[in-house]
Structure 1
Amino acid sequence: MPQHGIPANEIDTSRPHPARIYDYLLGGKDNYQVDQEAGDALIAAAPEVRPSVRANRDFLHRAVRYVVGSGVRQILDIGTGLPTSPNVHETADQVAPGTRVAYVDNDPIVKAHADALLGRSGRTGVVLADLRDPRSILDHPGVRAVIDFDQPVALLLVAVLHFVTDEEEPHRILAELRDALPAGSYLVLSHATDDFAERSEAQAVYNKASATMNLRSRSRIQEFFAGFELVEPGLVQVPLWHPEVQPQQSGDIGFYGGVARKAPVPGPSGQ
């Protein structure tokens, strides 16, 4: 399946890729010089980028523990990025061992590393596919082997939707994914923003990458939760979502995050 114009079995090292830039910002080693140069340019343009991605990663862990603690036993993680321990399945196992996780990303290097790390346990799977084609994800045999869409699913879209342009119809993508989920499912979503600082220079770094950065305001991000009911405290900066310790001032953290539940459709009587 082609990804951004390259065969899926090839790794494009000529352009930075968001997953590898993110890995570099987290202190990982699964990246190339082009990704490191892009990461350094991001830090120069937005010095808070490293604490922001770390805060976003911490949000992911807290949100996974929340949804699994709420009873969900299967997770669809789209835009998973390079494996960084603890991974989603490791975090979920802390609450409910055996939780099933399907990882999806569009970078072949992500799949290669994840395949090597995860092995073939039967309760995890790694799929090479693109968020912009949600049907290819929902119908993928590798996803279907792990996820039962007749049972509640936690859909993770963590730090990925800002790589989808308005022209690529993110609302359509969310609607198609949402409609595939049964009642009782959850959406975990985080998204970069320029609400707190002008970040055109940081956005420009991604102009040479395999996906552009599309920063959005809180009100626009909240629209992506249509059809879901946000749990408290709603859509907030990621350090403020169910913090395990009292967070310091979060004004320089350029990510919003939220968790929402898909409620049952009321019957004819409203019950």
Structure 2
Amino acid sequence: MSHGDLDRIDTTTAHPARRYNYWLGGKDNFAADRESGDAIAAIYPAIRTTALENRQFLRRAVRFLSEEQGVRQFLDIGTGIPTADNTHEVAQGIAPESRIVYVDNDPIVLTHARALLTSTPRGATAYIDADLRDPAGIMGHPDLRRTLDLDQPVALMLIAIVHFLFDHDKPYEIVRGMVDALPSGSYLVMSHGTADLNDPAARAHAEAEIRAGRLKVDAQPRSKDEIARFFEGLELVDPGIAPVLEWHNPVPEADRPPLQDVAMYGVVARKP
């Protein structure tokens, strides 16, 4: 890690990627990340289950696109700290020629990505230090242009990241702009936190903790209808906007966690 990267690391403020790493049992996190993670877990004890199931949704979505739709290019924004079944591992395990661009804005994530996310000889991976709030900077980045052919379909992976955009960030415009930059036959893949599936008592308790200032909010859950707005003009893949637990999940329903323990929707849609 360069001195410049070290200077950018704020260990006093929780970062979503490091907090997610903590929930998944990783070691690449700081006290602020653990404190934030524990505060959220106190309100939503199943948050670690949510993190694990969200990762399984990513794996199933990439496998579906690679095996059944022939997608060979992926743009994964909000990469997170590498763990098992990263996008390129799943995609290149099916088609070694697959090409993947990862994007994140945490220097720890990028350092790990450069060290661990190595491509197959036939494929390619690249890592861009950028923020989803700067879609033009991402889409115009020379490393993206060198790695992906934007005349061929690309799967835009927005896994557990869009809920960190508040309405004032103009999330619909950001997502629409990125989809517009991709060719016909591309896909938008999203998982997004929601309060729709929460236990009502837990939801009320969380709202009370937020009002009292004991729980800091850095994300905006959205309803199914609000999430649907991201997919206007796109062709939803069956079963449409569904809980991540239900999206193409081969695990029998009786063996899955309760829906309310994984309050997140998953969606895959094709650009016509």
Same fold (TM over 0.5): yes
| 1:206 positional shift | 4.3
Question: Is contact 1:42-1:49 (8 Å) kept?
Answer: yes
Among 227, 245, 249, which residue is 2:251 paired with? 245
Q: How does 1:196-211 map to 2 (within 5 A)?
A: 196-197=197-198, 198=203, 199-200=206-207, 201=209, 205-207=215-217
Find out whether 1:258 has 2:270 as its counterpart.
Answer: no
Mapped partners of 1:193, 1:172: distance in 2: 20
- Which residue in the other structure is 1:31 paired with? 29
What is the CA-CA distance between 1:161 and the residue it aligns to? 0.1
CA RMSD of aligned residues (A): 1.9
Opposite residue 93 of structure 2, the aligned amino acid is Q
Aligned equivalent of 2:72 = 73
Mapped partners of 1:205, 1:155: distance in 2? 32
Corresponding residue of 1:43: 41
2:241 to 235, 241, 246: 235
Paired amino acid for 2:229: E
**Structure 1 segment 1-271 matched on structure 2, within 5 A:** 10-69=8-67, 70-119=69-118, 123-197=124-198, 198=203, 199-200=206-207, 201=209, 205-207=215-217, 212-247=218-253, 248=256, 249-263=258-272
SS of 1:27's partner is: coil
Question: Counterparts of 1:153 and 1:259 in 2: how far apart (Å)?
Answer: 13
CA distance in 2, matches of 1:233, 1:158: 18
Identity %: 49
Amino acid at match of 2:146: A
> Once the 2 structures are TM-superposed, how far is the Cα of residue 230 of structure 1 from its aligned partner?
0.6
Quick check: 1:9–1:108 contact (8 Å CA) kept in 2? no
Larger relative contact order (C-alpha < 8 A, sep ≥ 6)? 1
1:245 maps to amino acid: V
Equivalent residues of 2:57, 2:245 under 8 A apart:
yes
Task: Report the structure, 1 or 2, having the larger helix content.
Answer: 2
Matched positions, count: 254
1:102 match: secondary structure? strand
CA shift digits 1:201-257 (9 cap, x unpaired): 4797444xxxx2111111101111122111100111101000122133423211000
The answer on whether the counterparts of 1:237 and 1:256 sit within 8 Å (CA) in structure 2 is yes
Q: Is the 8 A contact 2:82 2:117 kept in 1?
A: no
CA distance in 1, matches of 2:34, 2:142: 34
CA contact (8 A) 2:197 2:264 kept: no
Post-superposition CA distance 1:129-157 (Å, at most 9, x none): 01011000000111112111110000000
When normalised by structure 2's length, the TM-score is 0.88
Distance across 1 between alignment mates of 2:75 and 2:6: 20
SS at match of 1:104: strand
Q: Where in structure 1 are there 5+ consecutive unaligned residues?
A: 1-5, 264-271
Q: Supply the AA of the counterpart residue of 2:76.
A: D
Shift in Å at residue 97 of structure 1?
Answer: 1.5
| 1: CA distance, partners of 2:175 / 2:234 | 11
| Structure 2 unaligned blocks of 5 or more | none
Cα drift, residue 99 of structure 1: 0.8
| TM-score in terms of structure 1 length | 0.89
Q: Which amino acid aligns with 1:186?
A: Y
Q: How far is the alpha carbon of 1:159 from its aligned partner?
A: 0.1
